[in-house]
Structure 1
Amino acid sequence: MTKSGNKISGLTKERVREQLADEADPKAIKRLTAAREYLEGLSPEAIENKYGWHHQTVYNWLNRFEERGFDAALYDKSRPGRPSQLSDEQLEEFSAVLHEPPEEAGYDDPAWSTALAQHYLIEAFDIAFSRRHTRRLMHKAGVSPKRPRPEPASADEDEREEFEETVEKK
C-alpha cells in the first residue's frame, strides 16, 4: 500500500483541475477526479467510500498515470472488435438487393422480412447471421424489414374498397 500523495508524484493538482474543467469523456472525468482527490490527500479507500469506485480500480487508474503519462492515461485504446464476416463488396451487394423487390432476387414474397434477408445471406454468401444481426445489417443498408399484416377472413372486399375510397388520405 502506498502512502497517500506519493503514487503520482509527477502530476500537479492544477494540471488535473484544468483538464477536468475541459474534459467531456466520462471515463477520463472519473480518472481525473480520482487523481485530484488522491493529490488532495485522500487514500484510494477513502475515494472508494466517497464515490463508490472500488479501491483497486482507483489504484489501477493511478498506476495508469504513473506508467503511461498524463495524456495516455485518460483515454482507453481503440478496441475495433471482431472483423465483419461480410466484405465491403458483399455488404454493398446485399444493400443493393434489399433496395429491389424480393421478386428480383427470385423470391415469391412482396417485401423483405428479416427471415427472408437472413435466408438470402445464407444462399448468396454462405454466411449465417442471427435475425437480430440481420436486422442490424438491413438498418445499415437503409431498409426496414416488413412483416405481412393479416387481413381478417371475414373482410368483405366491397366494404373494404368503399372504406378506402371514403377515407381521406393526408
Structure 2
Amino acid sequence: MAKGGNKIPDLTKRRVREQLADETDPKAIKRLTAAREYLEGLSPADIEDKYGWDRQTVYNWLNRFEERGFDAALYDKSRPGRPSELSDEQFEEFTAVLHEPPEEAGYDDPAWSTALAQHYLIEAFDIAFSRRHTRRLMHKAGVSPKRPRPEPASADEDERKEFEETVEKK
C-alpha cells in the first residue's frame, strides 16, 4: 500500500477510461469508476459521498489495483459452489421424465408439480431436495411446475360438466 498519496501510481487515467468504455461487468465498472475518480483527484470519502459506496469498499478496490495489478483487480475469481448431488446422467433422466406426462412415470396426476417432481427425485434417486431447489431443477430442465387450480365453490355442476364435455383438450 502506498503511503500518503497515490495508491495506484502505475495506473493512468487513459487506461482506466479505455477499459471503462469497453467493460460490461458491473463490479469491474464500479472498480474502474472508483479508480478514475481517484485519479481525477477525489478522495475515497468524496467518492463515497458522490456514489454512495462505502469508503472502506473504495479503499479495498484501490488496494486491489495496487496489490494485484490492473487486470487481476477488475474481476473476482470464480466460485464454483457446492457440487450437485445429482449426477449429469441422473439430471438427464430427470429431464426426460419431466418432458413426459406424469402418468408415464406411474403417477396419477395430469401435470408435474414441484411436490410431485420432488417425490420422483426421492423415489428414483433417493435424493431429497427442498421444493425451492426442485423448482430450480425443473426450470433448468425447461419445465414449468403446474399447480392445480381450485374450483370455486359457487360453480354450477351442470355448467362445469357441459364445459368439460364441449371443450376440446389439446
TM-score, normalised via structure 1 length: 0.84
- Gaps of at least 5 residues in structure 1 are none
Structure 1 window deviating more from structure 2 (159-168 vs 29-38): it is 159-168
Mapped to 1, the partners of 2:145 and 2:50 lie a distance apart of 48
Give, in angstroms, the shift of residue 153 of structure 1.
6.8
Give, in angstroms, the shift of residue 109 of structure 1.
2.1
Pair 1:124-2:129 in alignment: no
Mapped to 2, the partners of 1:147 and 1:15 lie a distance apart of 54
Give, in angstroms, the shift of residue 110 of structure 1.
2.4
- Gaps of at least 5 residues in structure 2 are none
Mapped to 1, the partners of 2:54 and 2:152 lie a distance apart of 59
TM-score, normalised via structure 2 length: 0.84
Count of aligned residue pairs for this structure pair = 170
Partner of 1:68: 68
Kindly indicate whether the alpha-carbon contact (under 8 Å) linking 1:5 and 1:38 is maintained by their aligned counterparts in 2.
no
Change (3 A) 1:105 1:39: same
Give, in angstroms, the shift of residue 118 of structure 1.
0.4
Structure 1 window deviating more from structure 2 (63-72 vs 43-52): it is 43-52
Change (3 A) 1:168 1:124: closer
Structure 1 window deviating more from structure 2 (26-35 vs 96-105): it is 96-105
Partner of 2:2: 2
Secondary structure at 1:118's aligned position in 2? helix
User: Deviations along 1:131-162, whole A, 9 cap, x unmatched?
Assistant: 11111111222222222334457766654455
Give, in angstroms, the shift of residue 42 of structure 1.
1.8
Mapped to 1, the partners of 2:166 and 2:111 lie a distance apart of 27
Mapped to 2, the partners of 1:82 and 1:57 lie a distance apart of 27
Change (3 A) 1:2 1:107: same
Kindly indicate whether the alpha-carbon contact (under 8 Å) linking 1:4 and 1:38 is maintained by their aligned counterparts in 2.
no
Partner of 2:151: 151
Structure 1 window deviating more from structure 2 (46-55 vs 116-125): it is 46-55
Give, in angstroms, the shift of residue 62 of structure 1.
0.8
Mapped to 1, the partners of 2:77 and 2:90 lie a distance apart of 29
Change (3 A) 1:12 1:150: closer
Change (3 A) 1:155 1:47: closer
Partner of 2:109: 109
Kindly indicate whether the alpha-carbon contact (under 8 Å) linking 1:4 and 1:43 is maintained by their aligned counterparts in 2.
no
